Amino acid sequence: MISIESIREKVLNDKRISFEEAVFLFETRDLLSVGEMADSINKKKNHDKVYFNVNRHINPTNICVNRCKFCAFSRDKEDNDSYELTMEEMLKKAEEASKQGATELHIVGGLHPRWTFDFYVNMVKTLKTSFPSMHIQAFTAVEIDYFSKISEKPLDYVLKTLKDAGLGSLPGGGAEIFHPEIREKICPEKITGDRWLEVMETAHKVGLKSNATMLYGHIEEYWHRVDHMERLRQLQDKTGGFQAFIPLAFHPENTKIDKKRYTTGFDDLKTLAIGRIYLDNFQHIKAFWIMLTEKVAQISLFFGVNDLDGTVVEEKITHSAGAKTRESLTKEELISMIKEAKKIPVERDTVYNELRVYY
Ligand code: V47
Ligand code: SF4
């Protein structure tokens, strides 16, 4: 019989928990026991260190051929609030970021019906040659697949070409919920979960690290979340190329999802904690404070989380869907948030080299 005690026994002995045990953890009301287990794993892996970075998000365009039902950010080209940034505008944002001490540009956007693969390669090349010390973390697996389609080139060619142009790593977006039963309902035009995993496997093979996300709190059930994490755990066993797991809390406003509730703090903390317990082969669990609020993100540091993402500066995806959080935090604010939780703030670069420890 599965119980909190039997799962705790496994966790304390560094044993993997099963699919059914993870579902049990989602169903329990004993949040504090789940948090305690996640915290003990995190302490073993990362001690009291909490990572953050100084980064800037850039979304080159909101025009997208997919129009996922949960996405309030995307537009059709004809819409009067669709936009396309020019290279000059992107360079200006990168320059601002550089002046503010950013070490990373996080670039994701819509699948533009007319931009060519060469355009994207040039975007990376131009940004990297203008700001050589900046790490460019860009393009979700969904965008990479799209580049492969529009260029009629295989995935490894697309990824290697971008890497040669200066791409440093891939963000974890576009994963949503892998299970086809949910994917068909929330993003029917999007690549399958299997294809997302294939893109990531290929990226890891060509030497690009990546993150992995999971969009939760819409129409999925708990077991779909576990299925999602199971597939990530299997791929991570194979490649070891994932750096961080980032559960993304669904925001319902202006979306076509027939559920107009935000996630609860209870569910947010439980999902992060179970991510830490289930994904025993991931080093980092990230709380994206933009989606979780600063307060929940801070508390999550005791529920298995060891990374708070970064300064962000400009955030369109969740703010189009009703996020009430700020779009930017200063480095000092991130440091004091971590210090007040009696943890050790560590400024990192994108691939987790420690740049400065704030004892
Ligand atoms: O892929 C879209 C999600 C993602 C909504 O890798 C929504 O470090 C909530 O992936 N409510 C993009 N989420 C953001 C992302 C990300 C963010 C921070 C760090 C990293 C990382 C990656 O946002 C999309 C989609 O899954 N999203 N619409 C919505 N209404
Ligand atoms: Fe396009 Fe991404 Fe929004 Fe889907 S989530 S509509 S792929 S921008």
Average pLDDT, the chain: 97
| Ligand 2 lined by 336 (C-beta under 6 Å) | no
For 205-222, what is the mean pLDDT?
Answer: 98
Percent of the chain with pLDDT over 70: 100
Gap between the Cα atoms of 162 and 125, Å rounded: 8
136 Rama sector, left if φ>0, alpha if ψ -120 to 50, beta otherwise: beta
Q: What is the pLDDT of residues 36-52, one digit of tens each?
A: 999 999 999 999 999 99
| 322 Cα nearest atom in ligand 1 | 30
- Determine phi and psi for 316, rounding to 5 degrees: -105, -35
Q: Is the pLDDT of residue 259 over 90?
A: no
Q: What is the mean pLDDT of residues 313-336?
A: 94
pLDDT at residue 245 greater than cutoff 90: yes
Residue 251, C-beta contacts closer than 8 angstroms, at least 6 positions apart: 72, 262, 291, 318, 321, 322, 323
99-139 pLDDT, tens digit per residue, is: 999 999 999 999 999 999 999 999 999 999 999 999 999 99
Atom of ligand 2 nearest to the CA of 110: 8
Nearest ligand, CA 215? 1
Q: What is the pLDDT of residues 272-294, one digit of tens each?
A: 999 999 999 999 999 999 999 99
* pLDDT value, residue 260: 83
List the end-to-end C-alpha distance of the chain, in Å, as a whole number: 45
Q: Check pocket membership of 67 for ligand 2, CB cut-off 6 A.
A: yes
Per-residue pLDDT band at 60 (split at 50, 70, 90): very high
For residues 286 and 245, is the Cβ–Cβ distance under 8 A? yes
67 C-alpha to ligand 1 centroid (Å): 14
Pocket test for ligand 1, best of 208, 315, 317 (most atoms within 8 A of CB): 317
**183, 196, 248: residue to mutate for ligand 1 pocket, most atoms within 8 A of CB:** 248
Tokens 């005690």 label which residue?
Answer: 5
Q: 147-157 pLDDT, tens per residue?
A: 999 999 999 99
